[in-house]
């Protein structure tokens, strides 16, 4: 008994399906500054950096005791400097639910959305400056990964006894320490704060490319907004932010030095007459 006929391979039908996709890919590739090969290379570089993050996250998660001890050390350090202001600062805003809700949302979204959006815009429309910024990010992430491996640090939210409130766990349904959230969040990667490092590495190039005074003013406030968010949500100490700023500065200096190796490809270009509005 025959239950069905064997499917017949039809090369013409396959070509009819593949050809529009291939034609679309070629058409899109013509609009890319350096073609598909270069775009895939950039994705590969950031993918390697992400895999390094995952590796270090696994190492840090096995050092919970060290991370908590280092977090306590940061608290003692700030107290010894007379600059342990974060609990009082957070409590000043904790009763203003809309501020906390906005800060929680910004903490999870701005870090990725604004950073990725700016890098995409830079690659597509100011590609001559992309490699310099990319090099900054690669250097910064490499330094940060060494910091996370050598000095895993628990964030303030893990120290309720010191007066901190985990605003994301308290006012949202999300647990940052869950297995799902930890794919994007390293619970013991407080030092350095890459929220601050990324915000600076986006803001400074954007301000250099901006023509409008208002655009430069808005960009200049972005790192301050990020600083407010990471402190008021108890995800970072100010010490973490200072370390993140130092990483961004080191990355910028290193990118300038790397540009000497390939000045035509890796140097920063001065802003053209028509840049960011």
Q: What is the mean pLDDT of residues 180-193?
A: 69
Neighbours of 209 (CB within 10 A): 22
Query: How far apart are the two ends of the chain, measured CA to CA in Å?
Result: 72
Confidence at 211, pLDDT banded by 50, 70, 90: confident
Could you tell me which residue, 110 or 156, shows the higher pLDDT?
Answer: 156
Q: What CATH class is the domain 35-266?
A: mainly alpha
What is the reported pLDDT for 229? 97
pLDDT at 189 over 60: yes
Could you tell me which residue, 18 or 79, shows the higher pLDDT?
Answer: 79
**Domain ranges across the chain:** 35-266
What is the reported pLDDT for 181? 45
Taking only the tens place, the pLDDT of each residue in 118-146 is 999 999 999 999 999 999 999 999 999 99
pLDDT at 225 over 70: yes
What is the reported pLDDT for 176? 53
Taking only the tens place, the pLDDT of each residue in 2-12 is 555 555 555 65
Confidence at 75, pLDDT banded by 50, 70, 90: very high
Q: What is the mean pLDDT of residues 72-95?
A: 96
Question: What are the phi and psi torsion angles at 210 (to 5°)?
Answer: -75, 140
CA distance 125 to 144: 29
For the chain, the average pLDDT equals 85
What is the reported pLDDT for 60? 60
CA distance 24 to 134: 28
Distances (CA, A) of 183 to 17, 38, 58, 215: 36, 27, 11, 34
């Amino acid at each position: 008994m025959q239950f069905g006929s064997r499917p017949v391979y039809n090369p013409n039908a396959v070509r009819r399906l593949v050809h529009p996709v291939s034609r679309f890919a070629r058409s899109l590739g013509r609009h890319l500054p350096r073609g598909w090969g270069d775009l895939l290379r950039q994705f590969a570089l950031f993918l390697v950096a992400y895999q390094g993050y995952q590796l270090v996250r696994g190492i840090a998660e096995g050092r919970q005791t060290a991370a908590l001890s280092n977090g306590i050390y940061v608290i003692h350090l700030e107290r010894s400097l007379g600059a342990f202001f974060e609990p009082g600062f957070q409590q000043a805003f904790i009763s203003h639910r809309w501020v906390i809700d906005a800060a929680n949302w910004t903490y999870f979204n701005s870090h990725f959305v604004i950073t990725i959006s700016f890098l995409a815009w830079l690659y597509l429309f100011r590609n001559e400056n992309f490699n310099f910024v990319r090099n900054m990010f690669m250097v910064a992430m490499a330094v940060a990964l060494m910091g996370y491996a050598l000095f895993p640090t628990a964030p303030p939210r893990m120290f309720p006894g010191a007066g901190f409130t985990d605003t994301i766990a308290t006012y949202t349904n999300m647990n940052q320490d869950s297995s799902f959230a930890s794919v994007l969040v390293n619970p013991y990667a407080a030092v350095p704060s890459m929220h601050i490092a990324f915000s600076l590495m986006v803001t400074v190039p954007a301000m250099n490319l901006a023509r409008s005074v208002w655009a430069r003013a808005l960009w200049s406030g972005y790192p301050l907004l990020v600083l407010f968010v990471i402190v008021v949500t108890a995800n970072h100490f100010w010490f973490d932010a200072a370390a993140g700023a130092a990483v961004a500065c080191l990355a910028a200096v290193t990118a300038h030095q790397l540009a000497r190796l390939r000045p035509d490809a890796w140097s920063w270009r001065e802003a053209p007459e028509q840049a960011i509005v």
